[in-house]
Structure 1
Amino acid sequence: MTTEARGQRRLLKAGGMVLALVGLGLAGHLLARDSYGPMPSLAGARQWLNSAPLETQALKGKVVLVDFWTYDCVNCRRSLPHVNHWARRYGDQGLVVIGVHTPEYAYEQDIDSLRAQVRQLGIDYPVAVDNDYRIWNAWGNQFWPAHYFVDRQGQVRHVHFGEGDYAGQEQVIRTLLDERG
């Protein structure tokens, strides 16, 4: 086998491993690094539930978890109990959880239905109604659910796509809360 063929084979194996990790919901581990840059805008929501509109600048000094979800996504439904738990457990320690509801299907754009789902799912934290995908696009998001963890200086520090690794995500929250800036 030539050196070039061995290199291509290694690349294919690595690519397959990445796809397997994504399929297992472990892509967040691949994405950990010091910073992804400043927190993108939250502007453009059609309306906010459970809160007045939140602005990125006003969140500096807080640790922020932005959760992109949609109510008819089974993966989102499985992750929401964890997000709810984190909001309740760490809210008094400086964590602000923001749900960004970006609908996958046209019927999910109905705000009354969304409001009922938010109640039914026990979501007490702010939810941006992103029916026009403005926040989704500002963040360059591509997945449901997607969790973006922002530090007190307003830098996106960790990203997790899909379900799973809830203990790891909670550790990210604790680490960011323990940092002083």
Structure 2
Amino acid sequence: MSILIAFLGGMLTLLSPCTLPVIPLLFASVRGRRGQLAIMLAGMALMFGAVSWLVTVASGWVVNLTLAGRGLALAFFALVGLSLLSQRVAQRLTSPLVALGNQLNDASSRQRGWIGSLLAGLAVGLLWAPCAGPVLGAILSLGFVHPGQATTGGLLLAYGSGGALMLFLLGWCGAALITRLRRGQAFGERLRRLAGGAMLASVALIASGGDRYLQSAGGLSQALEQRLAARLPQPEQKTSLQPIAAPQPSSAMPSLAGGSAWINSPALTPERLKGKVVLVDFWTRECINCQHTLPYVRDWANKYRAAGLVVIGVHTPEYPWERSLPLLR
């Protein structure tokens, strides 16, 4: 049952706004070849499962390796996008491969096509990993609550397979349309440049962190909820302050030790916070709900700082790249 839930959760990930930057990479990489599409999506599911599994055993070297891998994946797709936009760039990039390919037979050429699709899928899986978000966290909790039903690796692989299946269906329909439209050479050239531009735009969006704004942007359900709340009559709440009949028992503030580093402020101690109202906010950089609440928390901190409010944010990273301190400063 846990495996099935994980698979369905992966299929639902396609509805997330942060999947949008990955779709142009998908179409531009395969360009109508359904067989290579399947190989690419298999590589994407494998890479996604591997990256997510590394989260559970992440250490410092894994964090650096993951960040470097994302950078290499973006550089790879940037080169592919430039080659689609410019025929001259494509010739320069492919001339060594063409010279080597002339010495090989057609079978080896087809093999290189499958290998290239697999490598493209691995790169897409590395970029798609942050898109899982809270859905993946809920799925992983199934493995913790019911360890006998499925291993963590099996849940991750099922989740990635569900997402890959939905992208395969999307790519299958798109590939059929592209194949028909590419029969005209003039349109095919325009389509190639359009695919290159879309790929470069996706790379720029992911590299600049703009995909996080897509992820945090409210969807249709949130818009409907806000409109419904605005139309409903708001009840009037009348409160009156009552004096405390008896003093409440006090307890010592727990220690703040144990964190890896203090960011944007010197280290705070219970002694320095004596007489203050302290709000401790646990958050994660890629968490959608955290991105929605952080502006309100910042406003509270700025508005009531003079009145004695101190806000302490505790960052609890979910993915390896979230452990990078420069990203949080």
- Structure (1/2) with the larger strand percentage: 1
TM-score normalised to the size of structure 1?
Answer: 0.42
Larger Rg: 1 or 2? 2
| Larger RCO (alpha carbons 8 Å, 6+ apart) | 1
